Amino acid sequence: MAQASQITSVDTQAPCVLAVDVANQITRFGLFSEDSLQASWSIITPALITTDEAHLAVMNFLDNIEFDCCCDEAEECCVVSFETILSCVVPDLSNTWLEALQSMSRQRPLVVGPGIKTGLPMKYNDPSEVGSDRIADMVASKKLFGFPLISIDCDTTINLQVLDREGAYVGGLIVPGLSLSAKILAQTAARLPIVELSIPATVLGKNTRESIQSGIIRGEAARIDGLIDMIWQELAYETTLVLSGETAALLASLLQHEVLIDDNLTLTGLYELYKLNRK
């Protein structure tokens, strides 16, 4: 299943950068031109994918973009030339996506990982352990919202990443995300079903489905609120709060803290990493 979250027209004469974020559940594509996100697209991350299938997924994304041409013969001149940057947190898919992007890019794709320049001072025992998507989120958060800051990514896992008053990464927390919690609950409790992620009208569920929904979603919002307070207490100051990810809007509606939401945080971070490393 594919979803177009933003589609526009792109000038074929301007340099383009394709950012690909392969997460555990969702794979996102973003096309940047003239220093802004021009189009984005998302698909469900498959358990297995061939190089040809990955190539086709990118082409399907590009086929939905209107490219502005400078000549009358569109078929001959509208050839999009772009460079690529890849973040992949699914090890079994990394080489496949790398090969697919290599086949359609002018240069070898830039891959977020050890050795890449991030511009982030690290106060972390082993920076190589920090996931590429988490790096991208922090890079974008720092540029867009400043610091100190807590970046909260709400996907398969919920990651709280902290930038201190000096703009350095000081650590974070990782907990199960909403869909993962719902799946694990259904798998380990024989009589409990998997439920859709929606918020029931009341805190107290009136049936099993509502009880699970309220417990998972409201419980997660309460946990995030509590963790934010604990982080602020440890830092001895408050921070800006930025949410991103598939369930960010759902959770933000229940949080007691004031938060900002950015649906394209990881893609923006990948583009910033591209600019930093291609100079």
Q: Closest by alpha carbon to 21, among 125, 129, 109?
A: 109
**Catalytic machinery residues:** 133
CA distance 108 to 97: 12
CA distance 2 to 60: 9
CB atoms within 10 A of CB 208: 12
Size of the chain, expressed as the number of residues it contains: 279
CB atoms within 10 A of CB 99: 15
- Angle between helix axes 91-102 and 51-63 (nearest 10 degrees) is 60
Q: Token pair of 146, please?
A: 């400043």
The single-letter code of the amino acid at 172 is G
